[in-house]
Amino acid sequence: MAEVEFTWALDGYCARYGFLAQPEGLTMREAARVFQLDPQPPEAGTLNDYITAALRERNLDYFSFFLHHYETRLNGRVRRFLMREGLERYDPERFLDYKMGCVLAMLDCLPGYDPMKEADFLTYAHYFIGNALLECRRQEEAGSFQSLDEYKAARGIAWLYNNSGKSTKDVIAEYANHQNCTEMTAAEYLALAQCNRSRVPFYQTVQDEEGEETGEDVSRDDSWNYADILWNSIRAKAVREAFEKLDYREQTLLEKRNAVCMTCGRVSPLSTRTSFEDLAVQFEGSTASGAERAYRRAVEHLACLLTEAGVIHMVRLKRKSQTRRKQKIAAAIYLYQVDNDGEWGEISFDFERGTAEVTALVGWDTSRTHRFANLAIQELLNCNNKALPKETWLVKEL
């Protein structure tokens, strides 16, 4: 059967049924029941009968009848995908965005469905729905990938790298052999996945029994660095808003040093980032060490803005006193402050024994675990004794 030529516009259909509207104060129950009709649609023998009627009559009312009955199963598929990606399943707006992406994908592939091939429409549409979910996820990656195919390739090699335990060279060779591409192409996909890891959460790809995908962190290295303050597990929108409040020099330092473009969201390999020497040349009258200090101040300023926006917590540490033995710091007292609120707590460290005691708790750090004090303790006890900072700051995600 040749592809059916529909006489209606897809956008017009969506507008007719209000599928693109997302009212303020949307509840999860409303998002899960957006396609329920009252009164009940006419009964049909199977779900596929609605689809064949839509094609035969060229009337998408039948497609809305199909959605009325299929919605519960569609909700389940979207929830499973969000859960496996590590995303919030109970955010009504996100849930509806993903759900609408699936519906639009089904509408898009509907004209190409041929009932004469004796395959159910849901079997035919399964691949398109999966791509729609991945496309929604790709959009949340803040524009790191130029196409869905590129995104899927990066996820595939990321999964192989994370689960095989092999070296980068072996992973690239295995992926290239399996996908019948060059090792250069495979290396580009892996580099793209690793660059993306430095700015937003990235999840691995693995198929379950329904052909959907699960999610795990792509990177084996969870160590903290300045790039993580910019991007790791922080919403890109909040970062952009904070970034816009920085002055031109701070913005330039952050973009060039981290090899990111805040305009388009593209992340380049870290090997292309600008050195502090080159940054010093760009800002005349500075030295490499001066450029590095300016960069760190810019990162700190951005972290302060994100703290004010309620995206992260920020813990400042300042050494109050110390005791030295044999060129090493044997003990020290550090002050700590949370979210720049002005109140300081105090922690006493015994570095010879590897112990610490909170002697004065910050006023609102009153949870049983004293999470901010413990963060400071863990950081300093794991620090090289010869590199113990006089002043520093840490971040903690909400």
**What residues does each domain of the chain span?**
10-140, 144-222, 224-310, 312-398
Per-residue pLDDT at 56: 92
CA atoms within 13 A on the CB side of 131: 15
Per-residue pLDDT at 372: 86
Q: Is 101 within 8 Å of 86 (Cβ atoms)? A: no
Helices 288-308 and 236-243 cross at an angle (nearest 10°) of 120
In CATH terms, 224-310 corresponds, of 3.30.870, 1.10.730, 3.30.780, 1.10.10, to: 1.10.10
* Total-model pTM: 0.47
Per-residue pLDDT at 70: 94
Per-residue pLDDT at 242: 87
Q: Is 396 within 8 Å of 372 (Cβ atoms)? A: yes
Per-residue pLDDT at 121: 93
DSSP class of 390: S
State the fold for domain 144-222: Arc Repressor Mutant, subunit A (1.10.10)
Per-residue pLDDT at 24: 55
DSSP class of 223: -
User: Is 257 strand, coil or helix?
Assistant: helix
Check for a shared fold between 144-222 and 224-310.
yes
Provide the token pair at 375.
């963060």
DSSP class of 359: E
Q: Is 252 within 8 Å of 282 (Cβ atoms)? A: yes
Taking 50 as the pLDDT cut, the residues of the chain under it are 1-23, 143, 198-234
